[in-house]
Amino acid sequence: MMLYHGTSIKFAKSILQHGLCPRGAKGKTNWEHTLESRPDCVYLTAGYAGYFAGNAGPVGPWAIFEIDTEHPALDPAAFLPDEDFLEQATRGSLAAPDGDMKQRTRWFREHAERYQHLWQESVAGLGTCAYRGIVPPEAITRAVRFNGRAAPELALAMMDPTITIQNWMVMGSWYRALTAWLFDPTEMDLDALVSKGLVFHEQFVEILRASRELHKGCVTRLK
């Protein structure tokens, strides 16, 4: 399975040399306004790389990395379900811990290892998961630099999701396609997306039909 990680371009050189590193206990979090992520984990996604990159560095260009989850340098037991998936998937059930949403999410964040076997369900259900430890550079198969100022419509499209089970169920194929487009514009099946009603504006469809030239103007291959 190929998953992705998005961040600011300023971290790209270090990541390509040393791998994707957890932020650590003293590292900066992008989620102080909600609930901090686990400091010992790197979070990965099947389709929301642009959204997470935008939260890490909304002003400058983004760096998007593709990770092969089956690479032998990765520990299969280190993949964990996203705590947000566990909280959302168990709402109203006997499996849900007591408390409000933040309290439940915090509990699942602290006990994610109990649910390690559900990490692929987390990707399928929410589009995200976590990896405990460093993702080594050899597990990074491709990397690109995306200049959102050269393609503002696409940047806004990548930045607009809500990270919920319902959104991934309905719009997941759209965000997967946007992420695939960053690496190869021919990987986006635009006609299929339009037929499913996932591209809503005719102007946006025309922008994507010219995607090869657009891609040349806003995406640079890093690896």
Full pLDDT tens readout for the chain, 223 residues: 999 999 999 999 999 999 999 987 445 555 454 578 899 999 999 999 999 999 886 667 999 999 999 999 999 999 999 999 999 999 988 777 888 899 999 999 999 999 999 999 999 999 999 999 999 999 999 999 999 888 887 888 888 888 999 999 988 988 888 898 889 877 766 676 666 666 655 656 666 666 667 777 889 999 9
SS3 state at 53 = helix
Domain interval for residue 167: 1-223
Q: Are 63 and 144 in contact (CB under 8 A)?
A: yes
**Edge-to-edge strands, sheet with 62-68:** 79-81, 128-132, 41-45, 2-8, 62-68, 140-146, 219-221
Total structural domains within the chain: 1
Q: Shortest CA distance to 65 belongs to which of 134, 113, 160?
A: 134
Separation CA 7–CA 92 (nearest Å):
34
Q: Rounded to an integer, what distance in angstroms lies between the CA atom of residue 65 and that of residue 7?
A: 9
